[in-house]
Amino acid sequence: MEYVIEMLNIRKEFPGIVANDNITLQLKPGEIHALLGENGAGKSTLMNVLFGLYQPEKGEIKVKGKPVRITDPNVANDLGIGMVHQHFMLVDRFTITENIILGKETTKGGKIDIKKAEKDVREISERYGLAVDPQAKISDISVGMQQRVEILKTLYRGAEILIFDEPTAVLTPQEIKELIQILKTLIKEGKSIILITHKLKEIMEVCDRVTVIRKGAGIGTVNVSETNPNELASLMVGREVTFKTDKTESKPQQDVLDIKDLKVKDSRGLGVINNLNLHVKAGEIVGIAGVDGNGQTELIEAITGLRKSESGSIKMNGKEIMNMAPRKVTETGVGHIPQDRHKHGLVLDFPIGENMVLQTYYKSPFSKRGVLSFKEIYSKAKTLIKEFDVRTPSEYTHARALSGGNQQKAIIGREIDRNPDLLIAAQPTRGLDVGAIEYIHKRLIEQRDHGKAVLLISFELDEIMNVSDRIAVIYEGEIVAVVNPKETTEQELGLLMAGSKRKEAGGENHV
Amino acid sequence: MSNRMKNIIVPLVAVLLGVLVGTIIMIATGYNAGAAFIALWNGAFGEIYYSGEVVRQVTPYILAGLAVAFAFRTGLFNIGVEGQLIVGWLAAVWVGVAFDLPKVIHLPLAVLAAAAAGAFWGFIPGLLKAKFKVHEVIVTIMMNYVALHVTNYFIRTVLSDKSDRTEMISESSSLRSPFLEGLTDYSRLHWGILIALTCVFIMWFLLEKTSKGYELRAVGFNQHASEYAGMNVSRNIILSMVISGAFAGLAGAMEGLGTFGYAAIKGGFTGVGFDGIAVALLGGNGPIGIIFAALLFGSLKVGALNMPLEAGVPNELVDIIIALIVFFVAASYMIRIFIDRISKKGVK
Ligand SMILES: Nc1ncnc2c1ncn2[C@@H]1O[C@H](COP(=O)(O)OP(=O)(O)OP(=O)(O)O)[C@@H](O)[C@H]1O
Ligand SMILES: [Mg+2]
């Protein structure tokens, strides 16, 4: 048997758009096969076809050489196909075990045999090196853990072929290392994997072959050993991509954001931000580097008014904004690209056009005497969609129907377009393709060059190093060091982020 | 098949299925289903008098449907329409009997009093939800009982002297219309239908065209994103319940100022508020849909009165049919899948 899965000449249409046009993908047993393409190229759609969530208009699917019709995910499960989705599908209030067995419960006398289920979960998790606590609630565990639960779910259902849709986009660098290890174990145990990712480094590291699609059409399949990141990028985008962002020296001016001795507690009442000092000047990009969970989220929430601060001061252009309502903060000139696009960034059930005025809908020209002008709203949306290359059938399409990366581009467009004095960008390029990342970095630097302040929060050291003018390292709710990206190395940053070393850079910060 | 088509076809199929199962029940229990439906039809449209009564019945149904739909469109379940309707009814009648004013002042005042009372009855669950996260379904159900007993108490002690109904409202606060009555062979049709239709427009305009409506809908779909965008989530939840309650209160005014002209002690709920849930559901929570759904339920309710007379069928059977329709609408997911299957086969 040469292929475990063959998707031949698949075509899938949505109203107003052809998401997959004549795509062929063949998966060999025991390989990790990458699926690469720009945002909106049709990767998730193709995998949803394989998983039975969508029915293709044309084409054929063969599993182990036999033609099959995968009419729904149950059929996919029975064929040994499992999928870890781009956006997780877990029940928050259930335990890990309950989530894993959901829909496949083992019963004893009509009652769920939770003891046995827990034992089974433990067994699988040991076998594949996926350590989890079977009794923990989903709402209490990290994103990385949640992903493990998704993987366990597929394994529990006996999956032989695993589909991963952008698994690394939501993970921290440490978690990515662990995931890659897990992928290798899975292959050793005889599984075959399709991996969607925008990170070419990951493809080069773990994949055997890669299939590239562009704007819904299949471009071809290449062996990873015979290619390189540059070639892959140009195959996928259709032009040369530079990986390093060019920028001139920054010309910092007056303080725009000035935080002094800030203290913030988290939802459990524990101090997560402790005497934090940080300032961002007009005309500079300050990057915040840190391991996830060291107070980054709470810091952003405190600045934007989404979370109460205990004490200290947050000044915006010299004006105190601590504990102000979010709208007031926004009106002092703060823009915010949120970390979680589905939770905070978009109203998924609104058309993408209406999402473009989420903060400005009540202002002229979008609203006059309380009445909305849809003409103005949609013409603004049209401009932004074009400018930021948001791939969508139209501005009336619901945000939910956009691909993950295009949702992100829409949010970024909206926030940059408001031209805020301070732009807070939290993981702005999460889930974006290399071409889009290049463009977004350019736009962030452009904001800086127009004399705006930018605060960048990212787990990707590459991004922090490339884009920032100053790097502030956060550790346990404190800025423990401020360094110049030109004078530091990833190793040094790594040490600082681990809290092993404190450093003062030129007395410039108030640590 | 387009979504819009589906939104029209699904309720139609639900109604048909309801009628079908209702027929089976009638045949199974030994009644003449054909005669029953003819009686139903005659009872609703056979004479102009009946048609006038249908429109009269449709009036509070529209408003109750709007109340449920408005809350639903902003992410809330207002099960308290019944209670809000009852307090609105009382408030309208109170103003109607207590004052003596020129009609241009008195009637609007009585109508507004009903809206205000309903709004207040909606405000309480809204506030509890916004400030303490108490689920509105529980509070609104409870508020229904409070409304029932409190209004009964007021009618017995304040608005009358230990009698079981109030005096008639004064002519200057009445919605009754000799003109409409004359047109429909002396049915109880009154001017309220104009208020109801105006409210349909208001609901549509408010939700779809104003920045406040944008905000209310956004909060209904995603509170986190709304908060992020600077909207005041608590205030919007309260406002939504207040507006919904106001519609419900107006439904009460229709009964108090139009149909009856007084308020009486009630042994139980009027049912109009609960039927409003069905109206909103069947009408897909949209303005046009609500008008049609209210028309359907109004005709069924009024026509049913004729069934025992003309066909010897108990009019409770109509309640069963209404219940069945609601059931099939609620199960519309089933119908949708079915339609998908059929239309797919048609393509291939
Ligand atoms: N349910 C849907 N309804 C309508 N259009 C859809 C739907 N799902 C996807 N699309 C459209 O199909 C195209 C492909 O989307 P898809 O999600 O497959 O992209 P993707 O390659 O996974 O992108 P990303 O890297 O951003 O996740 C997009 O233009 C998207 O807007
Ligand atoms: Mg995708």
For residues B79, B80, B85, B86, the Cα torsion angle rounded to the nearest 10 degrees is 130
Judged by a CB distance cut-off of 8 A, whether residue B214 touches chain A is yes
CA of A325 to the centre of ligand 2 (A): 34
H helices of chain B, in order, are 3-28, 33-41, 48-73, 81-98, 103-132, 136-157, 178-183, 192-209, 211-221, 223-228, 233-253, 272-282, 287-304, 306-311, 316-330, 332-347
For residues A479 and A279, is the Cβ–Cβ distance under 8 A? no
- Only one residue has tokens 């019963």, namely A107
- Only one residue has tokens 């040469």, namely A2
For residues A195 and A35, is the Cβ–Cβ distance under 8 A? yes
The residue whose C-alpha atom lies closest to atom 29 belonging to ligand 1 is: A40
Q: Which tokens belong to A231?
A: 């070639």
- Taking the domains of chain B in order of start, what are their residue ranges? 61-290
Dihedral (CA of A169, A175, A177, A178) sign: negative
- The strand pairing partners of A63, in sequence order, are A5, A66
Count CB pairs under 8 A between chains A and B. 65
Q: Find the helix or strand (DSSP H, E) in which A435 lies.
A: helix A434-449
CA of A374 to the centre of ligand 1 (A): 25
Residues in chain B closer than 8 A to A371 (CB atoms): 209-211
Q: Which pLDDT score, from 0 to 100, does residue B296 have?
A: 92
Closest alpha carbon to A80 in A158, A2, A185: A158
CA B45/CA A110 separation, integer angstroms: 54
CA of A219 to the centre of ligand 1 (A): 18
Residues in chain B closer than 8 A to A326 (CB atoms): 227-230
Beta strands in A317-443 (DSSP E): 319-320, 334-337, 367-368, 371-372, 422-426
Q: What is the pLDDT of residues A294-304, one digit of tens each?
A: 999 999 999 99
- Average pLDDT (A384-400) is 94
Amino acid at A141: I
Q: Which pLDDT score, from 0 to 100, does residue B165 have?
A: 92
CA B31/CA B311 separation, integer angstroms: 9
Q: Which pLDDT score, from 0 to 100, does residue B255 have?
A: 96
Min distance A119 CA to chain B CA atoms (Å): 37
Contact (CB<8Å) A367/B225: no
Q: DSSP assignment, residue B165?
A: B
Q: What is the CA angle A48-A49-A52, rounded to 5?
A: 85
Q: What is the pLDDT of residues A45-104, one digit of tens each?
A: 999 999 999 999 999 999 999 999 999 999 999 999 999 988 888 998 899 999 999 888
CA B249/CA B117 separation, integer angstroms: 6
Residues in chain B closer than 8 A to A354 (CB atoms): 214
Of B211, B225, B228, the CB nearest to A370: B211
For residues B135 and B129, is the Cβ–Cβ distance under 8 A? yes
Contact (CB<8Å) B224/A362: no
Contact (CB<8Å) A372/B227: no
Closest chain A CA to residue B3: A15
CA distances from B72 to A335, A343, B75, B139 (A): 31, 21, 5, 16
Q: Quick one: pLDDT band at residue B343, thresholds 50, 70, 90?
A: low
Residues in chain B closer than 8 A to A307 (CB atoms): none
CA B3/CA B17 separation, integer angstroms: 21
* Ligand 1 surroundings by CB, under 6 angstroms: A 14, 17, 19, 37, 39-45, 86, 391-392, 401-406
Q: Can you give the pTM of this predicted structure? A: 0.87
The residues, ordered by sequence, that sit 6+ positions from B343 with a Cβ below 8 Å of its Cβ are B1
Q: Which pLDDT score, from 0 to 100, does residue A114 have?
A: 86
Judged by a CB distance cut-off of 8 A, whether residue B221 touches chain A is yes
Q: Is 60 exceeded by the pLDDT of residue A324?
A: yes
For residues A193 and A32, is the Cβ–Cβ distance under 8 A? yes
What is the number of the ligand closest to the CA of A348?
1
Contact (CB<8Å) A304/B228: yes
For residues A474 and A462, is the Cβ–Cβ distance under 8 A? no
Q: What is the pLDDT of residues A451-462, one digit of tens each?
A: 999 999 998 888
Residues in chain A, overall count:
511
Contact (CB<8Å) B224/A358: no
The residue whose C-alpha atom lies closest to atom 12 belonging to ligand 1 is: A19
Q: Is 50 exceeded by the pLDDT of residue A397?
A: yes
Q: What does residue A265 show for φ and ψ, rounded to 5 degrees? A: -105, 150
Q: Which pLDDT score, from 0 to 100, does residue A505 have?
A: 46
Judged by a CB distance cut-off of 8 A, whether residue B217 touches chain A is yes
- Average pLDDT (B267-279) is 92
Q: Is 60 exceeded by the pLDDT of residue B345?
A: no
Contact (CB<8Å) A343/B231: no
In chain A, the N- to C-terminal Cα span, in Å, equals 63
CA B265/CA B154 separation, integer angstroms: 9
Q: Which tokens belong to A373?
A: 């002008």
- Average pLDDT (A110-135) is 88
Q: What is the pLDDT of residues B189-227, one digit of tens each?
A: 999 999 999 999 999 999 999 999 999 999 999 999 999
Amino acid at A409: K
Min distance B330 CA to chain A CA atoms (Å): 21
- Average pLDDT (B77-96) is 97
The residue whose C-alpha atom lies closest to atom 22 belonging to ligand 1 is: A44
Contact (CB<8Å) A325/B222: no
Q: Which site among A324, A372, A400, A414 would you substitute to test the B interface, given the most B Cβ atoms closer than 10 Å to its Cβ? A: A372
Q: Quick one: pLDDT band at residue B18, thresholds 50, 70, 90?
A: confident
Residues in chain A closer than 8 A to B213 (CB atoms): 372
Least confidently predicted of A37-51, A233-247, A336-350, A414-428:
A233-247
Amino acid at B78: N
- Average pLDDT (A163-169) is 92
Q: Which site among B209, B211, B232, B236 would you substitute to test the A interface, given the most A Cβ atoms closer than 10 Å to its Cβ? A: B211
Contact (CB<8Å) A349/B221: yes
Contact (CB<8Å) A370/B210: yes
Closest chain B CA to residue A15: B2
What is the number of the ligand closest to the CA of A431?
1
For residues B71 and B238, is the Cβ–Cβ distance under 8 A? no
Environment class of residue A340 by beta-carbon count within 10 Å: exposed (0-12), middle (13-18) or buried (19+)?
middle
Closest chain B CA to residue A336: B228
Q: Is 90 exceeded by the pLDDT of residue B10?
A: no
Asked whether the bond before A365 is cis by omega within 30 degrees of 0, the reply is yes
Least confidently predicted of A4-8, A119-123, B237-241:
A119-123
Q: Which pLDDT score, from 0 to 100, does residue A80 have?
A: 94
Q: What is the pLDDT of residues B107-166, one digit of tens each?
A: 999 999 999 999 999 999 999 999 999 999 999 999 999 999 999 999 999 988 888 999
Other Cβ atoms less than 10 A from the Cβ of B3: the count is 8
Which carries the bigger pLDDT value, residue A503 or residue A388?
A388
Q: Quick one: pLDDT band at residue A181, thresholds 50, 70, 90?
A: very high
The residues, ordered by sequence, that sit 6+ positions from A391 with a Cβ below 8 Å of its Cβ are A39, A40, A402, A403, A406
H helices of B3-102, in order, are 3-28, 33-41, 48-73, 81-98
Closest chain A CA to residue B230: A327
Contact (CB<8Å) B211/A346: no
- Average pLDDT (A37-41) is 92
Closest chain A CA to residue B231: A327
Q: Quick one: pLDDT band at residue A212, thresholds 50, 70, 90?
A: very high
User: Around A18, how many Cα atoms within 13 Å sit in the side-chain half-sphere?
Assistant: 14
- Only one residue has tokens 């909305």, namely A372
Q: Which site among B208, B210, B222 would you substitute to test the A interface, given the most A Cβ atoms closer than 10 Å to its Cβ? A: B222
Q: Is the ipTM of this complex over 0.90?
A: no
Contact (CB<8Å) B226/A347: yes
Closest alpha carbon to A46 in A215, A38, A54: A54
Q: Which pLDDT score, from 0 to 100, does residue A150 have?
A: 93
CA of A303 to the centre of ligand 1 (A): 33
Q: Which pLDDT score, from 0 to 100, does residue A254 have?
A: 93
Other Cβ atoms less than 10 A from the Cβ of A484: the count is 13
Closest alpha carbon to A253 in A45, A450, A407, A49: A450
Q: Which pLDDT score, from 0 to 100, does residue A502 have?
A: 61
For residues A419 and A387, is the Cβ–Cβ distance under 8 A? no
Residues in chain B closer than 8 A to A372 (CB atoms): 209-211, 213-214
Min distance A425 CA to chain B CA atoms (Å): 14
Q: What is the pLDDT of residues A218-269, one digit of tens each?
A: 999 999 999 999 999 999 888 887 777 778 888 999 999 999 999 999 878 8
Q: Which pLDDT score, from 0 to 100, does residue A511 have?
A: 41
CA of A399 to the centre of ligand 2 (A): 13
For residues A296 and A340, is the Cβ–Cβ distance under 8 A? no
Min distance B226 CA to chain A CA atoms (Å): 8
Other Cβ atoms less than 10 A from the Cβ of B339: the count is 17
